[in-house]
Structure formats: C-alpha cells, structure tokens
C-alpha cells in the first residue's frame, strides 16, 4: 500500500472516529437533558390540570374505540318517568310491588335479582316482601357505608336493609361511587372496609358476580401485585380497592325493561291500561338465567354519573343502576381496564426517553421537532392500540410532556451553541460565510483537514514612525478604521475571505475555505482593492488634518501586501475544555505569506509562484526578482501584481 493511500485512509479513519466521538458527546448531553425533561414532566403531571388532561385522554380512547356488545347475562328493570304515569303512584312504591316483581322474576327464571334500592326503613308490607325474597332465594339487596367526620376521627356507619329483609336475602352489596377529580366516574369500588367492625363488605357488583359464579367462602385478596381474585378470574385493581370499568358504551346500551311491565301480569292491574306485558316477557324467556338489576333511571330520582362516553355526542349521563350493570359485565368478562404497574410505567418512560434522545441527537432543529411530533403521534397510536386490543391504559400526557421538553431543551441548547459559534466566527469570518458554515458544523470540531488555500498578509509601511507621532487615542481610532475598511474588502461577497489574525498593524487572511472556488483570484482582487482603498483612506485622513507621514515628513504611510497559495491545515484550534477555540489555518505556507510581505514595498503586491500560476491570465503581473526568503534554502522568485 502506497503512503498516499495510507494517508487518505488515516484521514477517513480520523474523521469517522471524530464523528462518533461528537455523536457520543451529543448523545450524553441530550440524555442528561432528557432525564431533566422527564423529571420536569413528572413534576408537572402532579398538577391537577395535567391529571385532568390524562383522564380526558383516557375518555378519548373509549370514544375512538367505540361501543362493545353489552353482556347478555345482564338485564335492567328500571323506574323511569313513564313508570310514574303508568302506575299513577309516587315513588317509593309499596313493598308489595317489589314482592310481586320478585315473584314474577323468579317465575321467569331469573338467575339473580339485584335491587339498587336501600330498604333501610320498615314499611307495613315488609313481611310480604321478605316472604317473596325468601321464596326466591336469589335476591341481593343494597347497603351503603356512610363516613361521618368527628372532631379528630371518622366514624363509619353502615346503612343496610331492615333486619327482616336482611335475614331473608341471598346477599348484601354496597352501593356508592368513587368519582375522579373532574367529576367523572371511571372506576368502581370492589369493597369497603368498616374500621369499627374490622369487616370487609363487598360492593353490589362483587356480591352479584360472586353469587352468579356460585362462589362461597372468603374472597381471595392478593395485594402484592394489585390483583384481586374472584374464582378463576384475576381482576387488576387501582387505588387498592377499585377497578376500572370497561364501559360498553353510552347510557342505554343494556337491554332495559320498564318496572311496570314486569308487574303487569294477570294478577296485577295497571290503572290506565292492562295488557299483561309480563306474560309476553315470560313466553320469550326474557329473564331466563339472567342477572336482573332493578333501579331508578328517572332523572329526578336517579343518581346520574358522567362516564367516558359522555362527550361522545349525546352528552347523556348514566344512571347508577347502569353503572352497576357495566361493572358486573366487566367482572364477568374479565376485561377491566388495566393500569400497568409502576415498574412498567418507568420502563415506558425510559424507552420514550431513549427514542427521543436518539432523534434529537441525530436530527438537527427544527427538523428534530418534526421527528419528535412524529414519535408522539406514533406513541399515541400505540397507546390507542393497547387500549382497544388489550384494555391497557398507558399514560400519554406524561410522554407528550417528556417529548416536548426534550425537544425544547435540545433546541435551546442547539441554538445556544449556534449563537456562540456565530459570535466566534464573526470575529474572523463574514456573515455570509458563517451561514454556510452553519451547514457544515463538523468544520468547527477539534482537528481539521488539509486543502489548498490562498493566504494574504498586509501591513503598513512606516507604521512605527507614524504611530509615534500620534496620540494613543487617535492612533486607536485610525487603526480601527483601517482594520474595518480592509476587513470589509476581504470579507465582501465575491472575495469571501476569512480573517485569521490581526497582528499589530498587519492582517492575515485566507481565501478558499469554506467557499472554495477561485481563491487565488479572489485574494489578488482583494489585494488590489485594499491598495486602492488604503490610498483613498490616507487621503481622507490628510484632508481631515490628521497625520499620515512616517518619521520622514516627506514620506507617507503605505500598504504592503504579500500573497501565497499552498496546502495548509484548516480547522478549529484551541482548548475545548475551557471553550477557547478559533477557526483558523496553520502550516508552512501561512508563514511563507507573512515572509513575502517583508519584501514588498509600500503600495506593492507580491505573490508567490503558485499564486501566479493560478492568476497569470487574469491580472497584469511582472517578475519582481529573486529573494532569499527566511526558512527557504534557495532564492525564491516573487511576482508583482500591477494596478490597471
């Protein structure tokens, strides 16, 4: 392998390792910003409004999923507004009505008869109702646990059916709702605990499902992994004693029979019309092997609740008895909504963190924001997919917040670096070149690359004597004006030069990086314009009464320029650890340019052989002679560029 090929391979290997190192550093920094973003997102999520947004995103998933078929095992018997008209009697109805209802449902083959009423006050016909309950053997009654706040403690009071009714029923279940902070009902209590009696009382839905599955004995509680076992079904819990209801749809999804229709048989006369509707229900086996829930749906009497489907269009609240129906259906089908355990939520957060950090480390702003938006949308689809197909509820607002802050911090950091880079470059590089360098940020990393450039060095002849005849303040003003005028010519579009250094009264500039075309021509053209402008500037100073003479009153200051073309190393040099980096060039040909200017007279432009070979057909050039340049063994021929 030739040395040239080895050199090229070494350069490519260096660049590859440099890019890997830069990416690694960028990834580590973005990872720290990502961790900070995640912590901020977690903190913000504790705010009530953010919890509200997550709950609303949960509701949206129900609406996007759509309706499910209601559990066929459950039928509702409800007291609605029409019931008042048909019975012509105010609520609550006599217990004899309920007794007749129980008898008819038992005759119709109902598997369970569940009342969503509280029978805590005795009535004259309780014995008739108790007899019907005992005869049916499958009636479940409702109770309620009320918490009363005393001065320094709470008292739980159990409101349950009268002793007569409680002694005859098959079971008792608690009714009561646990709403979220926004007033919506999404979860259902499995049980409640009476502190005074140290007794756990099942909810109406849990008691109903236990009886339906013909379970006896103690219910198996498993707290270690937030699971609850009922028979061979394991229910995922939330808030220690609740589960998330998998609502099948809006209000009115379950088969519903009016209360008076179940009463209306040949032995019960309705006041206004008597069609014996129950006989038809009996013939159709409407209640055969069903769980029959009896409750109130009339708006003025029913407990109405807002559910996830409330915002789906009809905005109709759901009655308490239908809440129980959805809860029972969820327990029977084992399709409760599952909230992953904390460890899985942390893993999801970390996974999103890694994806987001990779995106912001790989793609620059503003396009990284588009990629993050794409990732957020994709994550939203994942969340919806898991919800629809597996009944899993994963947080989306937390992840959206995390993605937003990662993008925000990465963008802020990126533009902070860009601002620092531009400020650094603007010291030596014109604005239009800075804009081009912004598209090649690898040029501003430690290290560099070799390429052929043209260097220009100028200084003022007679500067020492001239400066000694000026006051310091005036000298600074005139030198700065000189630097400003010369730098503008070097950097102007069409010349595209970059300032390497201001050394005393001298300026070292280079051409061909990053704008590579015709660098020798641009350098010579800039030199000619610099000579013309310096002569005009000197005349302006003289017209203003300023001194432009050297220590010889008959000799004015003049500008000398030396230009050389050759291969140099271009890169960002300095101490990265203390943020002291300079975009510059180094090499023998840089030194050679500074040596050439030493042999140029005032008003003269001298160029090297290589520069001359690149521009000889574009400018008027003549040989200036052979010169023994410091650092060169043999004399070197230099050439003078003439003003046209």
Are 154 and 287 members of one domain? yes
Mean pLDDT of the chain: 86
Picking from 316, 333, 350, the residue at the C-terminal end of a domain is 333
Q: Name the phi and psi angles at 149, rounded to 5.
A: -90, 120
Angle between helices 342-362 and 3-45 (to 10 degrees): 140
**pLDDT over 70 at 105, yes or no:** yes
What's the pLDDT at 84?
Answer: 87
57 or 13, which is more confident? Answer: 57
Task: Indicate whether 22 belongs to any domain.
Answer: no
**pLDDT over 60 at 216, yes or no:** no
Task: Indicate whether 140 belongs to any domain.
Answer: yes
Are 126 and 211 members of one domain? yes
**pLDDT over 90 at 270, yes or no:** no
Q: Name the phi and psi angles at 69, rounded to 5.
A: -65, 130
Domain total in the chain:
3
d(CA 387, CA 339): 10
**pLDDT over 60 at 445, yes or no:** no
**DSSP run (H or E) holding 201:** strand 199-202
Task: Sheet containing 233-236: give its strands across.
Answer: 220-222, 227-230, 233-236
Task: Indicate whether 1 belongs to any domain.
Answer: no
Cα end-to-end distance, the chain, whole Å: 51
Q: Report CA 321 to chain centroid distance, whole Å.
A: 40
Whether residue 138 contacts residue 108, with contact meaning beta carbons closer than 8 Å, is answered with no
d(CA 423, CA 418): 8
- List b or e across 8-20, with b for residues whose CB sees 16 or more CB atoms inside 10 angstroms: eeeeeeeeeeeee
Exposed / middle / buried, residue 100 (Cβ in 10 Å: 0-12, 13-18, 19+): buried
- pTM here is 0.70
Give residue-wise pLDDT tens across range 591-638: 999 899 999 999 999 999 999 999 999 999 999 999 988 878 889 999
Task: Indicate whether 173 belongs to any domain.
Answer: yes
Are 77 and 166 members of one domain? yes
Picking from 304, 333, 362, the residue at the C-terminal end of a domain is 333
Whether residue 557 contacts residue 549, with contact meaning beta carbons closer than 8 Å, is answered with yes
CB 364: neighbour CB atoms within 10 A? 15
**pLDDT over 90 at 139, yes or no:** yes
Whether residue 562 contacts residue 597, with contact meaning beta carbons closer than 8 Å, is answered with yes
Quote the domain boundaries for residue 327.
66-333
DSSP 8-class letter at 519: H
d(CA 172, CA 293): 14
Please give the average per-residue pLDDT across 371-375, as a whole number: 94
Give residue-wise pLDDT tens across range 524-570: 999 999 999 999 999 999 999 999 988 888 889 999 999 999 999 88
Are 286 and 347 members of one domain? no
What's the pLDDT at 632?
Answer: 82
Are 440 and 566 members of one domain? yes
Q: Is the peptide bond before 514 cis (omega within 30 degrees of 0)?
A: yes
Task: Indicate whether 20 belongs to any domain.
Answer: no
Q: For residue 625, what is the domain's CATH number?
A: 3.30.70.1230
- List b or e across 271-296, with b for residues whose CB sees 16 or more CB atoms inside 10 angstroms: eeeeebbbeebbeeebbeebbbbbbb
Are 534 and 493 members of one domain? yes
Please give the average per-residue pLDDT across 382-389, as a whole number: 97
Among 354, 565, 375, 359, which Cα is nearest to 457's?
A: 565
Are 463 and 595 members of one domain? yes
**pLDDT over 70 at 215, yes or no:** no
Task: Indicate whether 81 belongs to any domain.
Answer: yes
Are 365 and 280 members of one domain? no
Picking from 299, 333, 367, the residue at the C-terminal end of a domain is 333
Are 119 and 203 members of one domain? yes
Are 477 and 532 members of one domain? yes
Q: Say which range, 263-277, 317-331, 465-479, 533-547, has the weakest mean pLDDT.
A: 263-277
Are 239 and 96 members of one domain? yes
What's the pLDDT at 629?
Answer: 86
Task: Indicate whether 500 belongs to any domain.
Answer: yes
């Amino acid at each position: 392998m030739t040395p040239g090929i080895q050199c090229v391979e070494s350069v490519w290997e260096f660049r590859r390792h440099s890019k890997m190192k830069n990416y690694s550093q960028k990834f580590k920094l973005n990872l720290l910003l990502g961790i900070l973003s995640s912590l901020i997102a977690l903190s913000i999520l504790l705010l009530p409004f953010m919890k509200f947004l997550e709950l609303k995103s949960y509701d949206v998933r129900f609406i996007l999923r759509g309706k499910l078929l209601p559990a066929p095992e459950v039928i509702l018997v409800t007291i609605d507004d029409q019931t008042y008209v048909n019975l012509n009697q105010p609520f609550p109805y006599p217990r004899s009505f309920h007794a007749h209802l129980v008898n008819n449902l038992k005759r119709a083959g109902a598997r369970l008869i569940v009342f969503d009423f509280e029978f805590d006050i005795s009535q004259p016909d309780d014995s008739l109702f108790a007899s019907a309950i005992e005869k049916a053997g499958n009636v479940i009654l409702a109770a309620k646990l009320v918490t009363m706040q005393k001065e320094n403690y709470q008292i739980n009071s159990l409101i349950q059916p009268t002793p007569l009714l409680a002694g005859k029923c098959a079971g008792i279940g608690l009714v009561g709702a646990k709403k979220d902070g926004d007033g919506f009902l999404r979860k259902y209590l499995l049980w409640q605990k009476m502190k005074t009696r140290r007794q756990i009382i099942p909810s109406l839905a849990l008691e109903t499902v236990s009886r339906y599955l013909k379970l006896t004995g103690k219910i198996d509680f498993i707290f270690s992994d937030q699971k609850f076992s009922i028979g061979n079904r394991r229910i995922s819990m939330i808030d220690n004693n609740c589960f998330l209801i998998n609502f099948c749809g809006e209000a009115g999804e379950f088969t519903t029979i009016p209360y008076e229709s179940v009463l209306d048989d040949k032995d019960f006369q309705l006041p206004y019309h008597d069609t014996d509707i129950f006989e038809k229900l009996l013939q159709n086996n409407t209640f055969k092997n069903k769980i029959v829930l009896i409750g109130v749906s009339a708006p003025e009497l029913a407990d109405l609740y807002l559910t996830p489907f409330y915002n789906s269009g009809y905005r109709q609240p759901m009655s308490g008895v239908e809440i129980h129906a959805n809860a029972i259906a969820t327990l029977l089908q084992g399709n409760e909504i599952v909230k992953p355990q904390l460890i899985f939520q942390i893993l999801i957060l970390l996974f999103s963190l890694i994806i987001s950090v990779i995106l912001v480390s790989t793609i620059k702003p503003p396009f990284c924001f588009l990629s993050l938006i794409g990732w957020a949308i994709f994550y939203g689809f994942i969340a919806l997919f898991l919800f629809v197909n597996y009944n899993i509820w994963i947080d989306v607002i937390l992840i959206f917040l995390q993605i937003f802050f990662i993008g925000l911090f990465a963008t802020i950091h990126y533009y902070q670096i860009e601002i620092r880079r531009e400020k650094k470059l603007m010291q030596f590089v014109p604005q239009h070149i800075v804009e081009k360098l912004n598209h090649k940020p690898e040029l501003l990393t430690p290290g560099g690359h070799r390429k052929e450039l043209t260097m220009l060095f100028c200084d003022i002849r007679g500067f020492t004597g001239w400066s000694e005849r000026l006051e310091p303040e005036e000298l600074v003003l005139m030198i700065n004006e000189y630097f400003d005028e010369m730098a503008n010519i070097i950097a102007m579009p069409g010349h595209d030069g970059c300032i390497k250094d201001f050394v005393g009264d001298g300026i070292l500039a280079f051409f061909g990086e990053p704008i590579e075309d015709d660098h020798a021509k641009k350098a010579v053209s800039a030199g000619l314009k610099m000579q013309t402008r310096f002569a005009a500037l000197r005349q302006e100073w003289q017209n203003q009464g300023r001194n432009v003479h050297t220590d010889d009153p008959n000799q004015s200051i003049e500008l000398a320029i030396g230009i050389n073309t050759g291969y140099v190393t271009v890169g960002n040099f300095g101490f990265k650890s203390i943020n002291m980096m300079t975009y510059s060039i180094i090499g023998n040909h840089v030194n050679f340019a500074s040596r050439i200017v030493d042999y140029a007279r005032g008003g003269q432009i001298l160029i090297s052989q290589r520069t001359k070979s690149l521009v000889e057909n574009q400018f008027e050039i003549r040989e200036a002679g052979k010169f023994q340049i410091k650092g060169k063994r043999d004399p070197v021929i230099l050439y003078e560029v003439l003003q046209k």
